[in-house]
Amino acid sequence: MSEPTCLVADTICRTVELGVTITGAAIAEELTWIDCRPVAHDSRCGKCGHEGSLRDHVQRVVTDLPVAGHPTRLRIQVPRFVCGNDDCAMKIFRQKTDQVVAPRAATTRRCARWILQRLAIDKMSISAIAKALKVSWDTVESVAAEVARDLVFGDPHRLDGVRYLGVDEHKWKHRRGQGGADFVTVIVDLTPVIDGTGPARLLDMVAGRSAGVFTDWLQARDPNFRRRIQVVAMDGFAGYRTAAAEALPTARAVMDPFHVVHLAAEKLTVCRQRIQQDTCGHRGRTGDPLFGIRRILLTRTELLSTKQRTKLEAALATHDAHTAVEVTACFYQDLIAAYAHPDRRAGKLAMFTCLKRIRSGLPKGLEELAQLGRSLWRRRAEILAYFDVGISNGPVEAINGRLEHLRGIALGFRNINHYILRALIHSGQIQDRINAL
């Protein structure tokens, strides 16, 4: 190729940033082949530093970024030199091409960055990336896993500044008979949300769901990290509370408002179903009063229309036994109102009043409400802590939702280590570090 042509080709393909210049090109079926050589010779011996004399060239083929939508291969003519130092053990050596490709790698450095960008930013599947590059699925997965592992776990400062943690379980595998744990413990950094500097960041995922799993993860961290943690937000699972109390004795545990209200909603539903069965002798059917208000009962009072209010009042007045449903629904609405109170101090007082009112001494017929009262009273410290710190597990649930989307993109996972690395690429907030590669 002529020099002007090579210059245009280098500009279009941006090969100059790799330290090579194009000498030729060809098309073979779906692949675009680009012949290139280093812009400058470096004849210094890597072992002794002496200058060497050119011996010959060897060809190295690596995968590069697609050109005009077609997969590309670089054929790099790498010079080989004979060391000028007779005492050097290395007689023949190649010129280093570390700027283009890492040692023993099959893709260029910028191609590895491109793979991570497609996974983290565009949410592409590995199959789609492999098709675009015309390489195997295993090649793309190994490149992404290796680079992501270095970016996440190779960064000694990735846990610096973490003061607020969120923890939750996540079901990563829905197929039976695959062996291993179906659940993972998701650990999220909530500090950016509290400080207003960005979204929550997935820190890590650990196989299993138990107090021991979370305790082991915390104990494996640096003592300075554990001392910095001020608040741990969690759901109602007692195992995480036990782990936090053991490994983070100075941190404050907060039970997430969503899970408190959800627990009350479950008890309300069970109460409605029990009364339905007692009064009608069957499960809810169209035309049954309680079945007709099953969704209205779970809707916040302020959001009900006049028609819905009228229907609710009429259904509850149909039978004396419906009083149990009405009482349970009133407490459910009181919980929501306490969380929604604009004054946190007043909301905390209202919540404490609600919990104290149902902790014991309820009349017969309110079994579900009595169970709820005992459960919430045991966790009152974590429930009331929300009104002091204002931290919830909402961002953790949002990350769980994104992980569900990731599993859909990949059509499911079978290898948990692969899944954890893909999840960290997807939700670990490493886009800026990927762009800096």
pLDDT of amino acid 406: 87
Write the CA distances from 142 to 137, 145, 355, integer angstroms: 9, 5, 52
Q: Nearest CA to 251 among 236, 235, 231? A: 231
pLDDT of amino acid 333: 95
- Contact at 8 Å (CB) between 332 and 264? yes
Tokens representing residue 263 in the block: 């627990």
Measured over the CA atoms of residue 246, residue 249, residue 251 and residue 256, the dihedral's sign is: positive
Distance between CA 90 and CA 79 in Å, rounded? 15
Distance between CA 389 and CA 386 in Å, rounded? 5
**What's the distance, CA 350 to chain centroid?**
35
- Contact at 8 Å (CB) between 250 and 218? no
Query: Look-up: residue for tokens 């999840």?
Result: 423
Distance between CA 368 and CA 366 in Å, rounded? 6
pTM flag (> 0.75): yes
Q: Nearest CA to 332 among 258, 264, 235, 259? A: 264
* Residue type present at position 287: G
pLDDT of amino acid 40: 83
pLDDT of amino acid 179: 52
For residue 198, the tally of other CB atoms under 10 A from its CB is 11
Write the CA distances from 231 to 57, 70, 165, 168, 198, integer angstroms: 61, 50, 6, 14, 18
Tokens representing residue 269 in the block: 């539903």
Taking 3-state DSSP, the helix, strand and coil percentages for the chain, each rounded to the nearest 5, stand at 50, 20, 30
DSSP letter for each residue of 39-72 = SS---B-TTT--BEEEEEEEEEEEEEEEETTEEE
pLDDT of amino acid 216: 93
pLDDT of amino acid 71: 93
DSSP letter for each residue of 318-337 = S-GGGHHHHHHHHHHHHHHH
pLDDT of amino acid 422: 87
Between helices 367-378 and 344-357, what is the axis angle to 10°?
A: 130
Distance between CA 54 and CA 57 in Å, rounded? 8
Cα dihedral value 263, 335, 275, 363, nearest 10 = 110
The one-digit pLDDT tens for each residue of the chain (437 residues) are 666 666 777 777 888 888 888 888 888 888 999 998 988 888 888 788 888 888 888 999 999 999 888 899 999 999 999 988 888 888 888 888 888 888 888 899 899 989 998 988 888 889 999 999 999 999 999 998 888 888 888 888 888 999 999 999 988 877 665 555 788 999 999 999 999 888 999 999 999 889 999 999 999 999 999 999 999 999 888 899 999 999 999 999 999 999 999 999 999 999 999 999 999 999 888 889 999 999 999 999 999 999 999 999 999 999 999 999 999 999 999 999 999 999 999 999 999 999 999 998 888 889 999 999 999 999 999 999 999 998 888 899 999 998 888 888 888 888 888 888 888 888 888 877 776 66
pLDDT of amino acid 4: 67
Alpha helices by DSSP H, listed for 42-164, are: 109-120, 126-133, 137-152
Q: Nearest CA to 191 among 225, 222, 216? A: 225
State the Rg of the chain over Cα: 31
